[in-house]
């Protein structure tokens, strides 16, 4: 009986470590990139939602799984880059919140944010949410909307590219 009591914690430890190893084997990333032209003088104007095609079905297939087996999706990284005009930067921006939702639904949540945008840079890295994003990445498309706090404006239209990397864990069964 004492042997069983001594072996039980060891077996429990091995099961937990084994499950984490299996999850690591079944974890992959899905990258999405989207560019949007933002009109100049957008102070106090609501920017339209940007629709992103996920192509997640292809990513799932390439990783030998399907959307019905995906169990956890989290945003790993989101980077915004001003790509046009040349030498533009985010100096007009103080704070940015990016929200995600699927079209025609009421499931809008915070995806990523930055509270103090550094000056003189054309690339910013946002802090991702810790929310599970399964339903958004499993959908064919999702929409991104932003709330921005500005300290000025840019008189010219400019192009911003959003690069997001999602961490996906699939169920083996």
Ramachandran sector of residue 139 (left: φ over 0; alpha: ψ -120 to 50; beta: rest): beta
Min mean pLDDT across 53-67, 102-116, 154-168 is at 53-67
- Which pLDDT score, from 0 to 100, does residue 3 have? 58
Q: Within a 10 A sphere around the Cβ of 97, how many other Cβ atoms?
A: 17
pTM passes above 0.95: no
- Which pLDDT score, from 0 to 100, does residue 123 have? 94
Domain ranges of the chain: 28-170
- pLDDT class for 99, splitting at 50, 70, 90? very high
Residues 6+ away with beta carbon under 8 Å from 124: 79, 80, 90, 96, 114, 117, 118
38-92 tens-digit pLDDT: 777 555 555 667 888 777 777 778 888 877 888 889 999 999 999 988 888 888 8
- Residues 82 and 89 sit within 8 Å (Cβ to Cβ): yes
Q: Within a 10 A sphere around the Cβ of 23, how many other Cβ atoms?
A: 15
- pLDDT class for 18, splitting at 50, 70, 90? very low
Q: Within a 10 A sphere around the Cβ of 111, how many other Cβ atoms?
A: 23
Structure tokens at 28: 């992959």
Q: Which of 68, 44, 32, 45 is nearest to 142 (CA)?
A: 32
Topology classification of domain 28-170: Jelly Rolls (2.60.120)
Q: Phi, psi at residue 99, to the nearest 5°?
A: -110, 155
| β-bridge partners, 114 | 96
Q: Is 144 helix (H, G, I), strand (E, B) or coil?
A: strand
In whole angstroms, give the CA distance from residue 103 to residue 155. Answer: 31
Average pLDDT over residues 96-123: 92
- Residues 118 and 91 sit within 8 Å (Cβ to Cβ): no
122-160 tens-digit pLDDT: 999 999 999 999 889 888 888 998 888 877 666 778 888
- pLDDT class for 115, splitting at 50, 70, 90? very high
């Amino acid at each position: 009986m004492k042997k069983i009591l001594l072996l039980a914690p060891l077996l429990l430890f091995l099961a937990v470590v084994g499950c984490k190893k299996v999850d690591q084997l079944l974890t992959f990333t899905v990258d999405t990139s989207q560019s949007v032209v933002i009109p100049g003088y957008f102070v106090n104007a609501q920017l339209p939602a940007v629709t992103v095609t996920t192509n997640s079905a292809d990513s799932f297939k390439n990783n030998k799984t399907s959307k019905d087996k995906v169990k956890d999706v989290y945003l790993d990284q989101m980077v915004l880059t001003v790509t046009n005009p040349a030498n533009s930067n985010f100096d007009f921006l103080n704070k940015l919140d990016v929200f995600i939702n699927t079209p025609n639904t009421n499931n809008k949540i915070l995806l990523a944010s930055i509270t103090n945008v550094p000056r003189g840079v054309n690339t910013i890295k946002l802090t991702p949410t810790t929310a599970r994003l399964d339903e958004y990445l499993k959908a064919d498309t999702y929409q991104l909307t932003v709330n921005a706090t500005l300290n000025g404006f840019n008189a010219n239209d400019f192009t911003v590219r959003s690069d997001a990397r999602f961490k996906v864990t699939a169920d083996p069964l």
